Amino acid sequence: MAASLSFVMGIIGNVISILVFASPIKTFIGIVKKKSTENYKGIPYVTTLLSTSLWTFYGILKPDGLLVTTVNGAGVVFQLSYVTLFIIFAPKHNKVSTMKLVGLFNIVFYGSVIGATLLAMHGSLRLTFVGIICAAITIGMYASPLAVMENVIRTKSVEYMPFFLSFFLFLNAGIWSVYAILVKDIYIAVPNGIGFVLGSAQLIIYGIYKKKSKSTKSTEMMEEEGSAHLVEMGMNDGDDHQKNRGIIKGLSLPKPTLDRQYSVQNILRSLSYGPYDFHSTGPLDEDDEVESEKF
């Protein structure tokens, strides 16, 4: 019963993991169309290629590791495609740096792990050695969204935290945690358990700040509508004597303070802003924006 349940969980984990691996396809379609990687960075795809390659090797070493091998073998195909496209369309300096990373991580380091495992180790020590390395790298990858979570808390906006990607990563970690418990594999259980906890925290933060984002946007919309209404009232051409008296009286009012002038300017300027203008005036710096887009 436990064996059949673990197999079912493994199949579900395979499907979800492949969906996660396939998530950057839209990004790379855009890269191919533009023939440029723009501000994207190649290191996430290089490190994910290393991770999937190591887990594939772990699945080969593990006696009942077929499901681990299949899903990570598919991951290797996806990530290798992404890295290749990135190198083709990246600017020269990014192309060179990415190729150096591929050489360091996916050739030198990965080759060293395979060589040390097959030549210097025997029996269960091989699985232990590779399992520890895989677990350490996976924990690091699951911890990477912490920067995005910090940005959400700091900006009180979930704009840079895509819900479905966060949800599928959470679900993926949960499924593989259950699978690992059923097959009693600590090297799969520990990193995915940590990923499940971090994924839960990410979804909780999303739920909290999603409401605050809506509230903030509603306030901004009300302010913009009120400002537009005031402008519209001011632009109405009327012959009413009372309006003229009000205008003349307004001209004799004391000059607004600098703070009031600034707030009025902000309101009027905000009427011409588009969504991306609001992003550019936010507290996120360029690197944070680029990383979050890839996340």
Q: What is the pLDDT of residues 100-115, one digit of tens each?
A: 999 999 999 999 999 9
Orientation angle between helical segments 186-235 and 163-183, nearest 10 degrees: 170
pLDDT of 252 above 60? no
Mapping DSSP to helix (H, G, I), strand (E, B) and coil, where does residue 161 land? coil
Kindly report the pTM of this predicted structure: 0.69
> 242 pLDDT band (50/70/90 cuts)?
low
Give the residue from 82, 85, 60, 86 showing the smallest Cα distance to 71: 60
pLDDT at 146: 79
Task: Please give the structure tokens belonging to residue 141.
Answer: 């990858």
Please give the Cα distance from 5 to 182 (Å, whole number). Answer: 8
Residue 67 pLDDT > 80, yes or no? Answer: yes
Average pLDDT value over all residues in the chain:
78
Domain ranges of the chain: 2-212, 220-294
Q: Identify which of 172-181, 213-222, 261-270 has the greatest average pLDDT.
A: 172-181
Per-residue pLDDT band at 142 (split at 50, 70, 90):
confident
3-class DSSP state of 92: helix
Q: Which residues contact 92 (CB under 8 A, 6 or more apart)?
A: none
The rounded distance, in Å, linking the Cα atoms of 65 and 59 is 4
72/220: higher pLDDT: 72
Give residue 222's pLDDT: 47
| pLDDT of res. 154 | 87
Rounded to whole angstroms, the Cα distance separating 75 from 55 reads 10
Helices (H) and strands (E) in the chain, counts: 14, 0
**Residue 16 is encoded by which pair of tokens?**
């979800």
* Helix (H) or strand (E) segment spanning residue 215: helix 186-235
Contact 56, 72 (CB under 8 A): yes
For residue 123, the SS3 value is coil
Dihedral (CA of 94, 27, 138, 67) sign: negative
Confidence of residue 156 (pLDDT cuts 50, 70, 90): confident
- Any idea which residue has 């590779």 for tokens? 130
Q: What is the pLDDT of residue 214?
A: 58
Whether 223 has a pLDDT exceeding 70, the answer reads no
Q: Who wins on pLDDT, 142 or 221?
A: 142
User: Where does the pLDDT of residue 213 fall: very low under 50, low under 70, confident under 90, or very high at 90 and above?
Assistant: low
